[in-house]
Structure 1
């Protein structure tokens, strides 16, 4: 069997569209595919830990300065790729108007919909 994926395999039983979806949906953070699908997935979990450590060290140094003692010019953490403080479409921001209720019937119908199990 060849080691590379041929474009003629796409959509065939050997590599179905569902298989391609599963590969894309389960791509690990930091991989080139994840970066292309979502800019926010460019960082691996270790990158977030390193950012936290780096910011903590900068904050500790800042706290010893005159600006730190007076609470001025506080250091800001590095923003991960694809995020911005001014982006209104950030996923981590939930506005009161964005919350939409669901009645019991709609919830029951939604939960009773058939689910597709991901095959390995």
Structure 2
């Protein structure tokens, strides 16, 4: 079966599934462009146009807020503020007796998509596997 240059199979089906699940958010985002879902399939809004719009929506779009609610609340400023706060807490801790002994280090502020230090600590088996992978156990 011949395909147009750059076309991927299932494009319309994928969009249709997305529309079934998140039509209200997509409609809201389209309104910003002066479009409506009811225009889909016309010269005003073809399926390729909808695909391009959905694929390149800004990070603060309604669709991305619905799909990734936790991550969408964190913008660059929030990440930078969390980094500054973590740094200040670490500096204050470093001047304490615990800091000089290297214990009870403060937990960083939880960020979306990032595991806490306690969740990141690996077991000896995981460390051995990583050392094998890196070739350090040879």
Q: Please, what TM-score do these two structures have when normalized by structure 1?
A: 0.54
Q: Deviations over 1:50-102 (max 9, x none)?
A: 22111111111111122211111112222322443559xxxxxxxx8xxxxxx
Specify whether residues 19 and 80 from structure 1 end up closer, same or farther in structure 2 by C-alpha distance, changes over 3 A only.
farther
| Structure 1 counterpart of 2:98 | 67
RMSD over aligned CA atoms reads: 3.2
| Structure 2 counterpart of 1:29 | 59
Unaligned runs of 5+ in 1: 88-95, 97-120
Within-5 A mapping of 1:1-120: 5-39=35-69, 41-42=71-72, 43-84=74-115
Q: Which has the higher contact order (CA 8 A, sep 6+)?
A: 1
C-alpha displacement of 1:46: 2.0
Please list every run of at least 4 consecutive aligned residues from structure 1 whose deviation after the TM superposition is greater than 4 angstroms: none
C-alpha displacement of 1:29: 2.6
Distance in 2 separating the partners of 1:61 and 1:30: 35
C-alpha displacement of 1:39: 4.7
When Rg is computed on C-alpha atoms for both structures, the one with the higher figure is 2
